[in-house]
């Protein structure tokens, strides 16, 4: 597949994922309109998502350790595992939000502003990072090292920030869950 076609595919996938998440966040689609029929395992998904994000954070740091030591194969493996876990997170996130379950942050004062700053930057950067990660993967697997390095300068810190703030957002909002 040529680079132009791959770029278009990456953009299409990124736009599709963004659209699905946007639709679910805005209650356009509610798979479980009756809260009494939501399976009990769905209520574990926010905790699972935090666990997946935390694991991804650690794997990204370990991946950096290995690439700094020129251990390319281990770096690749760790990044593929991280991407798979991030994909599982995305599916879990979509399932949870498709239920229509909503939780409001109940903190007051400065901490409320801190929470919303972290949440908003997390959401915006999560949307930005997907195409960057996919393009980085493409260049890395094609061994286009210079292009890969240029992309990773942006993708890596954003991906790491998104995974870390995903855990922070969970910690901050979980006391306000009503389920």
Provide the residue ranges of all domains of the chain, joining segments of one domain with +.
40-176
83, 137 Cβ separation under 8 angstroms: yes
Stretches in the chain below the pLDDT threshold 70: 1, 25-36
In the numeric block, which tokens belong to residue 99? 């239920």
Nearest CA among 138, 108, 97 for reference residue 11? 138
The reported pLDDT for the residue numbered 32 is 57
pTM: 0.87
Q: How far apart are CA 122 and CA 164, in angstroms?
A: 9
CATH no., domain 40-176: 1.20.120.80
The reported pLDDT for the residue numbered 175 is 95
């Amino acid at each position: 597949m040529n680079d132009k076609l791959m770029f278009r595919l990456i953009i299409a996938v990124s736009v599709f994922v963004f659209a699905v998440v946007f639709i679910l966040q805005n209650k356009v689609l509610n798979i479980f309109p009756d809260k009494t029929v939501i399976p009990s395992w769905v209520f574990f998904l926010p905790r699972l998502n935090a666990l997946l994000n935390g694991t991804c954070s650690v794997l990204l740091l370990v991946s950096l350790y290995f690439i700094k030591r020129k251990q390319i194969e281990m770096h690749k493996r760790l990044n593929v595992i991280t991407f798979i876990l991030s994909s599982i997170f995305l599916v879990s996130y979509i399932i949870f939000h498709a239920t229509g379950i909503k939780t409001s942050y109940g903190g007051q004062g400065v901490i409320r502003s801190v929470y919303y700053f972290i949440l908003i930057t997390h959401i915006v950067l999560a949307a930005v990072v997907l195409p960057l990660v996919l393009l980085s993967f493409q260049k890395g697997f094609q061994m286009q090292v210079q292009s890969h390095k240029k992309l990773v300068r942006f993708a890596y810190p954003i991906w790491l920030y998104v995974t870390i703030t995903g855990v922070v957002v969970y910690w901050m909002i979980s006391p306000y869950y009503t389920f």
